[in-house]
Amino acid sequence: MDRIFIEGIAHGGMGIGRINGKITFIHNALPEEIVFAEIIDDKKDFSIAKAVKFEKTSKHRVEPKCEYYEKCGGCDFQHIAYDYQLKLKADILRSIFKRIAKIDIGVDDIEVAASKDIFHYRRRVKFQCVGKRWGLFQKGSRKPVVVEHCKIADKAINEFISSNDCINKEIVLSDDNVVNKKESVLNLSDVVDNLYLIYEYGSFVQVNRDINLKMVKTIVDSIRQKKVNKVFDFFGGIGNLSIPLAAYGINVVSFDSSKSALDSFNRNTKRLKLTNTAKSIRKNLTKPFNIDIEPPDCVILDPPRAGAKSVIEYIDRSKPKYVLYVSCEPSTLARDLIILKDSYIIDKVTLFDMFPQTHHFETLVELKLD
C-alpha cells in the first residue's frame, strides 16, 4: 500500500495524488487528506487507486446518510459536507477551463447557485428492475443493487417505489405531485406568472425543481435585459427556456430532435397562444446546421454531454451578439469554448448545483461578441 498526500480533486470526484511521481486518481479521498491506497488500475500515464486507510482525514468529511452509498452508483459526494461539495465543483470547473480551453477564471468569477434541497430533490429517476424489486446501477457497473429507497429521489417517488412492484422505466414526478402521469406538469410560475407546461412521459425535464427555476430565471432575466429581437434555442426540448422568453414577447425558435419534446412544445405554445412568438423545428443537431432563416442576435444552447460541435460551428459562422451556453459536462463545454473564445468574451459564469451529493453540476456561460 502507498501513502499519498491528496493535492486536489479531479473531474469525476476522485482525489489527485502521486505515487513515485506518477499521477494517481484515488477513489474516496479528499484534498489535504493523507491516505494509504491500493492501486486498482495501473495505466501508462496515470494510476487509479482506492483509499483503504486514512492517516489524516479532511474536516469536510461527513458520514454518508444513505445505507447503499458504498455500493450504489447514484451518488459519489455524500461523504462531503455540502458547502465543500460546492467549493470542489467550482475548483473542478476552473481547472477544466484552464486545462482544456486555456481559460483562466478567478475564484470569485464563478457565481454558485446552491440547491435548496440537498436530499430528495430528484423528480426523475431511472430504476433497474431486479425481478419485482427496485434497483439502481452499482458504482462503475451495469449491475443493479436492490434499493428500498433513494436519498436523492423526491419523497413521492420513494413512496411510489415502496408501495409498487418495479416497472422497468423512469419514474417521473409531475409538479402537481402525481407520479408517472402520461402527461406531467412543469410549473414555471416563479419565472412567469401562471406559466405551466405540459409534457409527455419520456420527454426530457430538468431533475431539480428549485435549481431549474433559478436557472430559467437567470437566463430569462439576462436575455430580457439585452433587448434582443430573436433567440435561437438549440436543444430546446419541451420549451423550458424558450417558452418563458416567448411569454415575455421575445421571438424564439427552438430546435430539438425529439418528436415527443416538439409535440409538447407545440401543444403548449398553442394552449398559451404563443404561436406567433415561439416556433419549433425538428433537427438532428449532431449534423452540420444550416437554416434558411436570418441568424438571431442571441443563441441559447443546452446540449447533452457530448457537447454541440455543429451548433458551435454555426455560431462561429453567424456571430450572434450573445451566446448563453448551458452544459452538464464541463469538459465538452471547455472544448466548445476553444472555438468561441477568439470572437467572444465571457461575461459571466454560473454554476447551478442541479445534482447535490454527486460530482455533477450545470454550468451557464454567458458570452458576448468581442
Contacts to ligand SAM by CB under 6 A: 204, 206, 235-237, 240-241, 256-258, 261, 283-286, 302, 304
Total residue count of the chain as it appears in this document: 370
Residues 6+ apart with CB under 8 A from 69: 75, 78, 79
The residues with which 305 forms a beta bridge, in sequence order, are none
Query: Hey, what's the cell of 233?
Result: 434555442
| Complete DSSP assignment for 222-279 | HHHHHT-SEEEEET-TTTTTHHHHHHTT-EEEEEES-HHHHHHHHHHHHHTT-TTTEE
In the bound state with ligand SAM, the residue whose beta carbon lies nearer, of 174 and 240, is 240
Phi, psi of 247 (to 5 degrees): -65, -25
How many C-beta neighbours within 10 Å does residue 215 have?
23
Shortest Å, Cβ 254 to ligand SAM: 8
Cβ of residue 258: shortest distance to ligand SAM, in angstroms? 4
Q: How far is the CB of 190 from ligand SAM (least distance, A)?
A: 15
Identity of the residue, 8 or 304, whose beta carbon is nearer to ligand SAM in the bound complex: 304
Closer Cβ to ligand SAM, 64 or 304, answer by number: 304
Shortest distance, CB of residue 114 to ligand SAM, whole angstroms? 19
| Dist CA 250 CA 229 (whole Å) | 6
In the complex with ligand SAM, which residue's Cβ is closer, 154 or 256? 256
Between 56 and 305, CB nearer to ligand SAM: 305
The three-state secondary structure class of 106 is coil
Give the residue at shortest CB distance from ligand SAM: 237
Q: Give whichever of 58 and 258 is closer to ligand SAM, judged by the CB atom.
A: 258
* Nearest residue to 76 (alpha-carbon basis) of 15, 126, 13, 156: 13
Tell me the closest approach of the beta carbon of residue 218 to ligand SAM, in angstroms: 12
Q: How far is the CB of 72 from ligand SAM (least distance, A)?
A: 23
What gap in Å lies between CA 233 and CA 277, rounded to an integer? Answer: 13
For ligand SAM, which is the closer residue by CB, 16 or 207?
207
Distance CA 348, CA 365 (A): 6
Instruction: Please enumerate in sequence order all residues whose Cβ is within 8 A of that of 40, keeping only pairs 6 or more positions apart, or say none.
Output: 27, 48, 49, 50
Query: Minimum Å distance from CB 293 to ligand SAM?
Result: 17
